[in-house]
Structure 1
Amino acid sequence: MATTAVSISEIRKNLKKITDDVVDYDDHVIITKPQNRNVVLMSEKEFDSWKETLYLLGTEANRKELDESIKQVKEGHIKTLSKEEWDKMSHEN
């Protein structure tokens, strides 16, 4: 993954190649514009990942639950479920 900066003029000339590189190599491109009104170009997959992360960390309750889950994994307090066990648990709710 690389982050590069290109001018708006360069984007106009090479849009296909630049967008292909963004998708194929998970690159980020900073499109520089006058008066420091820059824009970042990233793949839809990367954008969706950022949105999900922001959602998960968006509330104090979620952050606490995630921290607790990470702590449990680090301490080895985990249980692996079979597909059947997971299906049974998910249908009980």
Structure 2
Amino acid sequence: MIQIEYILIISAIMMFAGVFGFLTRRSTLAILLSVELMLNATDLNFAVFNRMLYPDGYEGYFFALFSIAISAAESAIAIAIMINIYRMIKNIQVGELEKMKW
């Protein structure tokens, strides 16, 4: 059986990779993928802490499933917004989005 500490270390690495990607990338698609990576790290934490605190309960798993559903909806909306941005300015770089304010 894998120890819980190892899974939490993997989750922390995923979270830091997502934060780093969010802060350094210039493409909106790469930023979306970084946000998804951060959300997956939190889902992993929900499952791990559920296993650690309530071994026979399912609360953490339900929170994780709810979070996955929200992530899917967020991705669909974000991709629709990116498609509209691309249609308007033919670029999805974050620096070019300044034009959309006016």
Q: Same fold per TM (> 0.5)? A: no
TM-score (norm 2): 0.28
Larger fraction in strand: 1
Greater RCO, 1 or 2 (C-alpha within 8 Å, sep 6+): 2
TM-score (norm 1): 0.30
Larger fraction in helix: 2
